[in-house]
Structure 1
Amino acid sequence: MDTASSPAASHWEQQYLDLMRRIWTEGDERLDRTGVGTRAIFGPQLRFDLADDRVPLLTTKRVYWKAALREMLWFLTGDTSIRPLLQQGVTIWSDWPLARYRRETGQEITQEAFETRIVDDAAFAARWGDLGPVYGRQWVDWPTFEPAGDDLYRRGPGINQVAQVIEGLRRDPGGRRHIIEGWNVAELPQMALPPCHKTYQFLVAGNRLSCHLYQRSCDVALGLPFNLVGAAVLTRMVAAQAGLEPGELIWTGGDTHLYLNHAHLVEEQLTRVPSGEPRLRMLRVPETIFHYVFEDFAVADYHPQGAIRAPVAV
């Protein structure tokens, strides 16, 4: 069989599998912040066409797209507490505040018990469930400062980058400054995790809106499948709000890695063949991008192979 001309070889997901294989076979092996160890490459790129409701959902393993969608909608609220996510059953951000709680209190509480207490106890959630000024806070409330006399400054009105981008796309679609930035150097020390998917730039060609996402650090096995779905959803929402059709999602990675303790996941997934073409449908276009709800979206024709579980490196 000529694999180069097979349907699997031309499937968009083959880009992802080729990236995974390249990292695992050619990546530089080294220690990392987590102590787990990685194999990594620098600067790869993936491209996906979002026309006709296409969405980059992996089919060679199950991706929990509902959690990725809920996370993106949470970012747009500007909230930085994991409590709203846990109330919706989304646990993907629990590891970092849980690690801090264990470190600072010395208590070996289980993750389930910690999450239950966050949901049930607002005061406990305020103390232990906040992630600092991550993602959404920077996106919709980037801090500014204004003079307060005697060389003092006070907090000024926050900048809503998302709203500014949409207004800019409507007013000046040919502009080159349609950017949402999460890397606020002054506030990095306050963040539970500095932003990985840090810079989104949008470009209009014809009547199509494309998004180029730069991700400074990428866990390809666990993080990237979520990040691709989230970026696709964001692009679709921004396009709809600007009166445009979706174009391409272009993803560029900085330190793009696989953790050494994900060997079983990598080796299993690389034996699988991608198939099918899931669709993400938007059922409503609300007044603003901040009024979307989970029920405004539906995924169809998604028939993935089974999930492959692996630990998150914290």
Structure 2
Amino acid sequence: MPHYEQQYLDLMRQIWTSGDERVDRTGVGTRSIFGATMRFSLADDAIPLLTTKRVYWKVAAREMLWFLTGETNIRPLVEQGVHIWTDWPLDKYRKATGEEIDRDAFEARIIADDAFAAQWGDLGPVYGAQWTNWPRYEATSDGLYRRMAQGHNQIAELVEAIRKTPGSRRLLFTGWNVADVPDMALPPCHMTYQFHVANGKLSGLLFQRSCDLGLGFAFNIFGLALLTRMLAQQCNLEPGEVVWSGGDVHLYLNHRELVEVQLARIPSGTPKLRIVRSPTSMFDYRIEDFEVFDYAPQASIAAPVAV
């Protein structure tokens, strides 16, 4: 039976050898295909971590926990040594001020200076804001609409729906809020999640409008699997499988070395993830609650992020 990661490597090879070469938003250029699907089992504690390169799964887990807080400022991330969202506000700061500050110095100011963090560390209404505080409005006496202080907590509502109506076809949440997209540092790539209960098992599906297969996918699929496991635990279900579906799936042209090195490697091993504590809600998990074992990946492969 082929290793679960082989479908990822096959997709990478397909895109690199026959994808449409195109100019993209970043100006770097990509090779791209439209429409791809992969499936990964979560049985027996399985977790779809890539083994042909090291995936820093704790960084991905910290990002997921940050999303669930509803936070949109990078400060809590950089305080934990997580840098994956820094490039966007850093680029904005450099363009606005002309100051060629490096990432470490920028993050140090974000941590040390409340006002600086408020002005330059906020990403706009990105994932966490939409997931836990989707805007809702109420009519006013003059016939207009006013935004309410508390929006929809899509995650809390999803947990309730899975518990009460497990057969529903509406077990989903999304980050693609058309009205808010222009104010986001980066519109949601992993935009819509849907869940399905069958035979006492919860499965999760992610539709991703845009996927950087070389860098982003490893975090995206781990995040989907982790979130599915957390939801299953909260709803007293067993985890089933995760299904990943990508719209524009691409490799950046400056990732040639990453692609060639990774495609030369052979996947191996069956990493596991265990949740060692059962928190009272989806919003009470801590990084210490997650344990990954039997994970022996090959060396990490560095590649630039296109902003």
Fold-level match, TM-score > 0.5?
yes
Q: What's the TM-score, normalizing by structure 2?
A: 0.99
What does residue 161 of structure 1 align with?
A: 154
Residue 138 of structure 2 aligns to a residue whose secondary structure is strand
Alignment match of 1:80 (pick from 72, 78, 99): 72
AA aligned to 1:180 is F
Residue 258 of structure 2 aligns to a residue whose secondary structure is helix
Please state if 1:253 is matched with 2:246: yes
> Following TM superposition, by how much is the alpha carbon of 1:151 offset from its aligned partner in structure 2, in angstroms?
2.7
Structure 2 Cα separation of the partners of residues 44 and 262 of structure 1:
20
Please state if 1:95 is matched with 2:87: yes
Alignment match of 1:275 (pick from 268, 275, 283): 268
What does residue 144 of structure 2 align with?
A: 152
Structure 1 Cα separation of the partners of residues 115 and 270 of structure 2:
45
Please state if 1:231 is matched with 2:231: no
Structure 1 Cα separation of the partners of residues 43 and 192 of structure 2:
22
Structure 2 Cα separation of the partners of residues 116 and 15 of structure 1:
40
What does residue 205 of structure 1 align with?
A: 198
What does residue 22 of structure 1 align with?
A: 14
Structure 2 Cα separation of the partners of residues 235 and 143 of structure 1:
25
Structure 2 Cα separation of the partners of residues 135 and 85 of structure 1:
14
Superposition misfits of 4+ residues, deviation over 6 angstroms: none
The correspondence of residues 169-248 of structure 1 with structure 2, limited to 5 A, is: 169-248=162-241
Structure 1 Cα separation of the partners of residues 275 and 300 of structure 2:
26
Structure 2 Cα separation of the partners of residues 97 and 51 of structure 1:
39
AA aligned to 1:312 is V
Please state if 1:111 is matched with 2:107: no
Unaligned runs of 5+ in 2: none
Structure 1 Cα separation of the partners of residues 167 and 11 of structure 2:
32
AA aligned to 1:230 is G
What does residue 302 of structure 2 align with?
A: 309
What does residue 39 of structure 2 align with?
A: 47
Residue 98 of structure 1 aligns to a residue whose secondary structure is helix
Structure 2 Cα separation of the partners of residues 311 and 58 of structure 1:
19
AA aligned to 2:163 is R
Provide, for residues 78-101 of structure 1, a one-character-per-residue CA deviation record: whole Å limited to 9, x for no partner. 000000000110000000000100
Residue 24 of structure 2 aligns to a residue whose secondary structure is coil
Structure 2 Cα separation of the partners of residues 119 and 245 of structure 1:
40
Greater Cα shift, 148-157 or 95-104: 148-157
Residue 20 of structure 1 aligns to a residue whose secondary structure is helix
Residue 140 of structure 2 aligns to a residue whose secondary structure is strand
> Following TM superposition, by how much is the alpha carbon of 1:148 offset from its aligned partner in structure 2, in angstroms?
2.1
> Following TM superposition, by how much is the alpha carbon of 1:122 offset from its aligned partner in structure 2, in angstroms?
1.4
What does residue 61 of structure 2 align with?
A: 69
What does residue 127 of structure 1 align with?
A: 119
> Following TM superposition, by how much is the alpha carbon of 1:147 offset from its aligned partner in structure 2, in angstroms?
1.4
AA aligned to 2:270 is E
Structure 1 Cα separation of the partners of residues 33 and 218 of structure 2:
17
> Following TM superposition, by how much is the alpha carbon of 1:120 offset from its aligned partner in structure 2, in angstroms?
1.2
> Following TM superposition, by how much is the alpha carbon of 1:51 offset from its aligned partner in structure 2, in angstroms?
1.3
What does residue 139 of structure 1 align with?
A: 131
What does residue 264 of structure 1 align with?
A: 257
Structure 2 Cα separation of the partners of residues 94 and 121 of structure 1:
16
Residue 167 of structure 2 aligns to a residue whose secondary structure is coil
Structure 2 Cα separation of the partners of residues 126 and 69 of structure 1:
24
AA aligned to 1:46 is M
- Aligned residues between the structures: 306
Structure 2 Cα separation of the partners of residues 56 and 83 of structure 1:
29
Structure 1 Cα separation of the partners of residues 107 and 43 of structure 2:
38
Structure 1 Cα separation of the partners of residues 141 and 94 of structure 2:
42
> Following TM superposition, by how much is the alpha carbon of 1:149 offset from its aligned partner in structure 2, in angstroms?
2.3
> Following TM superposition, by how much is the alpha carbon of 1:61 offset from its aligned partner in structure 2, in angstroms?
0.3
